[in-house]
Amino acid sequence: MIAVPPQGRRLTSGAILLRKVGHPQLLIRKYSPAAALFNGLFFYTISMIYTSKPYAVTRFLTADTASAPLWLLVRLYLGYEWLIAGWEKVMNPVWVGPGAGAAVSGFVKGALAKTGGAHPDVSWWYAEFLRGVVLPNATIWSNIVAVGELLVGVGLLVGLFTGLAAFFGFFMNMNYLLAGTVSTNPVLLVLALAVMLAHRVAGYWGLDYYVRPFFSREARSSKR
């Protein structure tokens, strides 16, 4: 419950916001951890926009190292999701091993079955890509996907090449969506896009804190 201010006192903009949309914690409890994180970021950003200038909010989220703790939470969630998914695939022989390609073939055939109807889940052009490029090389793609998911997870967890790791995570989420698989892909895609936009500070609490200055110095020295 939100306390009502004494008579004669003005509501702060934050209190007005909470009255309009409700208390974030009450909404977050109804959802999964992914939705909880997503809603938390949403309410935090909306409250910042409601009480500040949009430019200041954008700068804080994408260029101010004070937002690094926020991006650390996002990174840890994304990294954990990708690491677990990649590890399970790497350890599964139908993804990496003697039976590699079987899982990808089944996935592609399932996607191709969603191309019928007036509004198919899988577009014809992406179906042609799956049929002509992925399916004949299922073993190769199987290894790429398994190792790629694992590397994206590690990169995001330790904050190394954060923007690049988020990009490849975003790219895989986009392909899974194009193949007609929803699951948590929309949430992961939006969070990955956010990390990409905030790549300058998203890895500040991570190995990028040490790696980015090194590459910056190397780039400056190569121009001399």
- Domains in the chain: how many in total? 2
pTM for this model (two decimals): 0.76
- Looking at the structure, tell me whether residues 135 and 215 fall in a common domain: yes
- Position 59 in a domain: no
Rounded Cα distance between 90 and 179, Å, is 21
- Looking at the structure, tell me whether residues 112 and 34 fall in a common domain: no
Pick the more confident residue, 201 or 216. Answer: 201
- Looking at the structure, tell me whether residues 86 and 18 fall in a common domain: no
Q: State pLDDT tens for residues 82-94.
A: 999 999 999 999 9
In this prediction, residue 23 carries a pLDDT of: 43
- Position 7 in a domain: no
What integer is the mean pLDDT of 1-21?
41
Domain span at residue 40 reads 12-51
**DSSP output for 140-165:** HHHHHHHHHHHHHHHHHHHTSSHHHH
Q: Dmax of the chain from CA atoms?
A: 75
Residue 181 clears pLDDT 60, i.e. is over it = yes
Q: State pLDDT tens for residues 135-158.
A: 999 999 999 999 999 999 999 999
CA 130 to centroid of chain Cα atoms: 24
Helices vs strands, H then E, count in the chain: 12, 0
Residue 209 clears pLDDT 80, i.e. is over it = yes
- Looking at the structure, tell me whether residues 33 and 118 fall in a common domain: no
What integer is the mean pLDDT of 89-111?
96
- Looking at the structure, tell me whether residues 217 and 133 fall in a common domain: yes
- Position 197 in a domain: yes
